[in-house]
Amino acid sequence: MCEPIKWVENKMPKTEDKELQVMKLDEIEKARAFHRSFPEYSETPLAKLDHMASFLGLKEVYVKDESYRFGLNAFKVLGGSYAMARYIAQKTGKDVSELPFSVLSSDELRKEFGQATFFTATDGNHGRGVAWSANKLKQKAVVLMPKGTTKTRLLNIQKENATVTIEDANYDECVRMAAAAAEKTKNGVMVQDTAWDGYEEIPSWIMQGYGTMAMEADEQLKEYGCRRPTHVFVQAGVGSLAGAVTGYFMNRYPENPPTVVVVEAEAAACLYKGALAGDGKIRIVDGDMETIMAGLACGEPNTISWDILKNHVRVFTSCPDWVSAKGMRMLSAPIKGDPQVVSGESGAVSMGLLSSIMKSDELRGLKEALGLNSDSRVLMFSTEGDTDPDRYKSIVWDAEKCL
């Protein structure tokens, strides 16, 4: 018997919503202009799953496929690269609009700015994005990875000329270790996609970088004839992506926003636990947080995102590993006529959840709470491809019953 999916409607008290301005549309336009300056930039595909939508009893289902992002197989580079650009712009007294890739990577800029060492902690994708960006911009990167990290993810970061280690610690402890090392290093800078009291500026830039993906998807929906999504499913680790996506769509459609569902790994469901408590305070998950969804194995919420999420999310969910594995299989072997999406463990959990909601009697209450029906237009984000190809194959090809 597989473990159940848990969910809770958001009944937390609302705040002044001051963090929503982080994801203002003009800020996202600025981030997207920066990303467009990279030679590697192109919009990632938005897969329209017509036959899947019909099978599930929905009007439309869309999946943003981030496996094509900058050749890095994941979306995270959007945040790290933009935060680094904003930091360099700040230190050189410029606006980031004056620092496209051609300028940032120039010898002239390096002479003016010098060289920094960008520190970060990662389960894989964020660290690879930071390392790749630092390499491109002729800067240094130091990356700490938690215990249990696979060799493939380690090697992917090493290829970008970064200093990288696997520590005997979980993700959140690695964050603290990286921050401490950055403070002790000359020109050391912490570039982390989570925020805490006293560390908010760089995380807000990272979230704005993620906004490029949301803005692309929004425009691509229009090209398909979809005026706006009725529902958005988005994964959460520390919540930076979830806060960025939620913040974008709330600013984009303030009069008629989509219903947002946050999707977490059960082993690290800190946002779900906070919503379940109902008082609006942050809850922390500790320990090893063992899950196949390595990118979501984060137990301490981003304070900026948490404020956005508790004001605007409809439902928070906690998903066992089998939900992700189900989503991976469904996207890898689509109904005939639909495009395939190669989606990794942290990228496919929303698909597994959506299908379970629509097809399981046990989740009828959740389906009704969300108002999912034949008029629903659902948008999801496959945030990574097969970033660990061997693990991807073992799950999709050789999985056991509850995986």
Count other Cβ atoms within 10 Å, centred on residue 274.
Answer: 24
Backbone angles phi, psi at 48, to 5 degrees: -105, 115
Whether residues 308 and 381 fall in one domain: yes
Structural domains of the chain, count: 2
Domain termination residue (choose one: 155, 179, 197): 197
Instruction: Calculate mean pLDDT across residues 25-32.
Output: 98
Q: Give the CATH number of the domain where residue 299 resides.
A: 3.40.50.1100
Whether residues 137 and 235 fall in one domain: no
- CA distances (Å), origin 136, targets 100, 122, 154, 287: 12, 19, 19, 35
What pLDDT is recorded for position 124? 85
Residue 151, exposed/middle/buried by CB under 10 A (0-12, 13-18, 19+)? exposed
Strand partners, 140: 117
Whether residues 38 and 64 fall in one domain: yes
145 is a domain residue: yes
With a cut of 90, say whether residue 10 has pLDDT above it. yes
Whether residues 109 and 258 fall in one domain: no
Q: pTM score > 0.85 for this model?
A: yes
150 is a domain residue: yes
403 is a domain residue: no
Q: Which residues contact 400 (CB under 8 A, 6 or more apart)?
A: none
| Residue 345: pLDDT band with limits 50, 70, 90 | very high
Residues classed as catalytic: 76, 123
Smallest CA-to-CA distance from 372 within 390, 360, 385 is with: 360
| Diameter of the chain measured on Cα atoms | 63
Give the ranges where 194-256 is alpha helix by DSSP (H). Answer: 201-223, 240-252
| Residue 2: pLDDT band with limits 50, 70, 90 | confident
224 is a domain residue: yes
SS3 328: helix
Whether residues 228 and 317 fall in one domain: yes
Instruction: Calculate mean pLDDT across residues 80-95.
Output: 97
1 is a domain residue: no
Averaged pLDDT of the chain: 96
pLDDT in tens, 72-87: 999 999 999 999 999 9
Domain termination residue (choose one: 171, 197, 223): 197
67 is a domain residue: yes
Helical packing angle, 125-136 and 151-158, nearest 10°:
10
Q: What is the rounded CA–CA span in Å between residue 376 and residue 386? A: 29
The one-letter amino acid at 16 = E
248 is a domain residue: yes
With a cut of 60, say whether residue 352 has pLDDT above it. yes
231 is a domain residue: yes
pLDDT in tens, 237-292: 999 999 999 999 999 999 999 999 999 999 999 999 999 999 999 999 999 899 99
- Pairing assessment for the beta strands 6-9 and 140-145 based on DSSP bridges: unpaired
Whether residues 54 and 97 fall in one domain: no
Domain span including residue 38 = 6-74+202-398
Whether residues 266 and 186 fall in one domain: no
Instruction: Calculate mean pLDDT across residues 332-348.
Output: 98
What pLDDT is recorded for position 401? 56
With a cut of 90, say whether residue 400 has pLDDT above it. no
Whether residues 59 and 111 fall in one domain: no
Strand partners, 265: 319
Whether residues 47 and 108 fall in one domain: no
Whether residues 82 and 104 fall in one domain: yes
With a cut of 70, say whether residue 402 has pLDDT above it. no
What pLDDT is recorded for position 399? 75
pLDDT in tens, 184-205: 999 999 999 899 999 999 999 9
Whether residues 276 and 391 fall in one domain: yes
Domain termination residue (choose one: 197, 231, 257): 197
- The tally of CA atoms less than 13 A away on the side-chain side of residue 309 is 36
pLDDT in tens, 129-187: 999 999 999 999 999 999 989 899 999 999 999 999 999 999 999 999 999 999 999 99
Whether residues 176 and 149 fall in one domain: yes
Strand partners, 138: none
With a cut of 80, say whether residue 109 has pLDDT above it. yes
